[in-house]
Structures are given as structure tokens and as C-alpha cells.
């Protein structure tokens, strides 16, 4: 029966893997205490968490998260770099390897996708989540702007117009869409009410 400590650690691994944009598994064999401390310091400065977990627990976490193909990399000393920034762990690791000629990338994770060590550098070319959201919202700006002139001519449309005017590339996509849906519902209700009043007056 697994110990309470292992149960809690397994839960922690699953949470951190699921929350991270990028996970990089490294082999730290050959690093002395001073070098490990220096590596940890660089990770902290880049908002990257670096932890050592048991390979068996990481394998269990991978299975429960439906991450396939990770087990073959879970041998020997393994430390994990986890970050919300896709490129941050890779940059720190590459700079460290150039300077100390130590540390090896075993494999990377992007969500549940396993990234072989030789392809990890490709993560440096990927946009962050915020950049993707900004790009999507930026593409929405043009069609939204073209609607404003028409919508402003109708009084019931004003709540929707206000929401559309407030959209910026930094607005979270889910909040933006929810606001639009809520206000569009209000607009439809207002139009229906106007039609009923017009029918009654005639």
C-alpha cells in the first residue's frame, strides 16, 4: 500500500504537470552541490520550478494524465523543470550547458505530448499562451470594428457596443466571449420587448 507521502507527492506531480506550459526532464548526474545551487538560482530568476521526483511516481502521474511514452525516459537521476513560459526552461538549460558542459535534457512535455530531446529547442519558437490569445483577439478586432457603426444606430445594441469597445488584446478570451454572450442575450430581449410594444400600440 502506498504511503501517505507518496500519495501526496503523486498528487503534486499531477497538478504541476497539468498546470505547466512546459515540462523538461533533465539528468543532473555529474553536477556538484555548487552547480546544482547555481542551476536552481537561474531557474528561480526565470520563474521556473525545478524539482526532483521519484521516477516511479512520475510514471504513475504520466499514466493518470494520459501522457504516453514518458516511461522510457524515467531511468537514472531525474529532475524536472516546470514553467508557465514555454521557452524559459529551455533557455536556462541551454545557457547552463554551454557554460558548465554538464546537465542533459532527457525529454520535454508540452501538455500531454512528449517532445524528444533533439526537438526541445523547437519550443523556443513557440508563442506563449498570452501571445496566442492576443493574436486571436487581434484578428477579431477588424470584424468587430466593422459592426460597431451599425450597432450604434440601435439603442438596445448599446450594451453590446460598450463590451466590444472594451475588448483589448490583453482581455482574457473566455471573459470577452462570456461578456459578449451575456450582452447579446440582453440585446435580443430588448429587441423582442420593443417589437411587442410596437405590436400593442398598433
Give the residue extent of every domain in the chain. Answer: 4-125, 129-201
Count of other CB atoms within 10 angstroms of residue 52: 11
- With 0.85 as the threshold, say if the pTM is over it: no
d(CA 65, CA 72): 16
pLDDT at 137: 52
d(CA 36, CA 59): 24
**In this structure, are residues 91 and 40 in contact, taking their beta carbons and an 8 Å threshold?**
no
pLDDT at 121: 84
**In this structure, are residues 102 and 35 in contact, taking their beta carbons and an 8 Å threshold?**
yes
**In this structure, are residues 93 and 103 in contact, taking their beta carbons and an 8 Å threshold?**
yes
pLDDT at 178: 53
Q: C-alpha grid cell for residue 74?
A: 524515467
Alpha helices in 28-70 (DSSP H): 33-45, 55-64
- Among 94, 13, 54, smallest CA distance to 105 is for 94
Residue in this structure with the C-alpha cell 487581434, named with its chain if needed? 138
pLDDT at 196: 62
pLDDT at 136: 47
- From first to last of its 202 residues, what are the pLDDT tens digits of the chain? 678 999 999 999 999 999 998 999 999 999 999 999 999 999 999 999 999 999 999 999 999 999 999 999 999 999 999 999 888 999 999 999 999 999 999 999 988 999 999 888 877 665 555 554 455 455 555 555 555 455 445 444 445 445 445 544 444 444 455 555 455 555 555 555 655 665 666 5
pLDDT at 132: 46
Alpha helices in the chain (DSSP H): 4-19, 33-45, 55-64, 88-100, 129-151, 158-166, 173-201
Alpha helices in 113-169 (DSSP H): 129-151, 158-166
d(CA 76, CA 103): 13
CATH assignment of 4-125?
3.30.70.1730
Amino acid at each position: 500500500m502506498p504511503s501517505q507521502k507518496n500519495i501526496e507527492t503523486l498528487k503534486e506531480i499531477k497538478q504541476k504537470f497539468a498546470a505547466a506550459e512546459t515540462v523538461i526532464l533533465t539528468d543532473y548526474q555529474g553536477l556538484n552541490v555548487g552547480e546544482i545551487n547555481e542551476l536552481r538560482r537561474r531557474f528561480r530568476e526565470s520563474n521556473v520550478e525545478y524539482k526532483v521526483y521519484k521516477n516511479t511516481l512520475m510514471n504513475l502521474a504520466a499514466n493518470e494524465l494520459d501522457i504516453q511514452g514518458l516511461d522510457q525516459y524515467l531511468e537514472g537521476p531525474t529532475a524536472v523543470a516546470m514553467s508557465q513560459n514555454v521557452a524559459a526552461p529551455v533557455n536556462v538549460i541551454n545557457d547552463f550547458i554551454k557554460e558548465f558542459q554538464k546537465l542533459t535534457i532527457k525529454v520535454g512535455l508540452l501538455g500531454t505530448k512528449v517532445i524528444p530531446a533533439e526537438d526541445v529547442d523547437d519550443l523556443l519558437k513557440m508563442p506563449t499562451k498570452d501571445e496566442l490569445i492576443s493574436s486571436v483577439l487581434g484578428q477579431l478586432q477588424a470584424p468587430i470594428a466593422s459592426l460597431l457603426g451599425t450597432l450604434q444606430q440601435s439603442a438596445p445594441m448599446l450594451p453590446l457596443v460598450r463590451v466590444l469597445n472594451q475588448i483589448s488584446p490583453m482581455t482574457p478570451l473566455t471573459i470577452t466571449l462570456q461578456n459578449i454572450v451575456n450582452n447579446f442575450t440582453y440585446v435580443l430581449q430588448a429587441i423582442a420587448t420593443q417589437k411587442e410594444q410596437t405590436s400593442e400600440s398598433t
